[in-house]
Structure 1
Amino acid sequence: MGAGKNKVFTLSQVSEHSSPKDCWLIISGKVYDVTKFLEDHPGGDDVLLSATGKDATDDFEDIGHSTSARAMMDEYCIGEIDSSTIPARRAYTPPKQPHYNQDKTSEFIVRLLQFLVPLAILGSAVGIRIYIKST
């Protein structure tokens, strides 16, 4: 990095630059002032503006930028990020879901049938008896 490019910024400082007139990004530990590039960015300025205030390395890498795009980055580099100011990543923990227990569900159905089947048989017998008496 040349003159002025050895400056170290905090995440808070970089986050203050998140408008179309003043836009800074963090990519791979370096801070880039991309304000002049917003209009020329092939993905539009919204893509860059949405990546402010955080480490945008994953966003940048997920797109698969060309070698020439990576070469252009040096002219926009204004310093480095103090990595201690970027929150640590946490592994994704899925929300707790109620445990589906197939055995309990089957057990419930069996008990329900044990109650309903004899009741249906009894109801049918009574119904038949009433029918026979009425004829």
Structure 2
Amino acid sequence: MSKVFTLAEVSQHNTNKDCWLIIGGKVYDVTKFLDDHPGGDEVLVTATGKDATDDFEDVGHSATARAMLEEYYVGDINSSSTPAKTASAPPKQTQKNEDAGPGFIIKLLQFLVPLIILGVAVGVRFYTKSAA
């Protein structure tokens, strides 16, 4: 039977001399692996004190890395001691009505004013040529 740890117990192991991680509901003592971790030891140490499953999965570890975890397994996490995960939803964005308001008028003027200037310049040049 494996040992069951609370988040508080696992959180005490949060240095590069004593580093435990929670991944997939299991607790791993990765202290001996810190020097060999391709991403450096700091990445692992900063993942302590919380459920690091998402961090581990987001990196896209290989099957070899996943198999290596078993070497560092020390027990399971008491799931009632960890905060429940909440689904994150993207913030609601308000729809902007681009056809109204001062922003639209400014964009319209930025388009029309150069055209008017160009038209006046061509007209003046044409008028001065035909008057001569």
Residue 11 in structure 1 maps to residue 7 in structure 2: yes
Alpha-carbon displacement from aligned partner over 1:19-74 (angstroms, at most 9, x marks no partner): 01000000000000000000000100011011000000010011111111111111
Cα RMSD between the aligned structures? Answer: 2.3
In structure 1, list runs of 5 or more residues that go unmatched: 110-135
Residue of 50, 57, 60 corresponding to 1:61: 57
Scaled by the length of structure 1, the TM-score of the pair is 0.66
In structure 2, list runs of 5 or more residues that go unmatched: 106-132
Scaled by the length of structure 2, the TM-score of the pair is 0.68
- Which residue in 2 is equivalent to 1:45? 41
Alpha-carbon displacement from aligned partner over 1:56-114 (angstroms, at most 9, x marks no partner): 001001111111111111110000000111101223366688886779847xx9xxxxx
Alpha-carbon distance change, 80 to 96 in structure 1, aligned in 2, over 3 angstroms:
same
Opposite residue 21 of structure 1, the aligned amino acid is K
Larger-gyration structure (1/2): 1
SS at match of 2:80: helix
Number of residue-to-residue matches in the alignment:
104
Residue of 42, 66, 71 corresponding to 2:67: 71
Opposite residue 90 of structure 1, the aligned amino acid is T
Give the Cα–Cα distance (whole angstroms) in 1 for the partners of residues 94 and 62 of structure 2.
Answer: 45
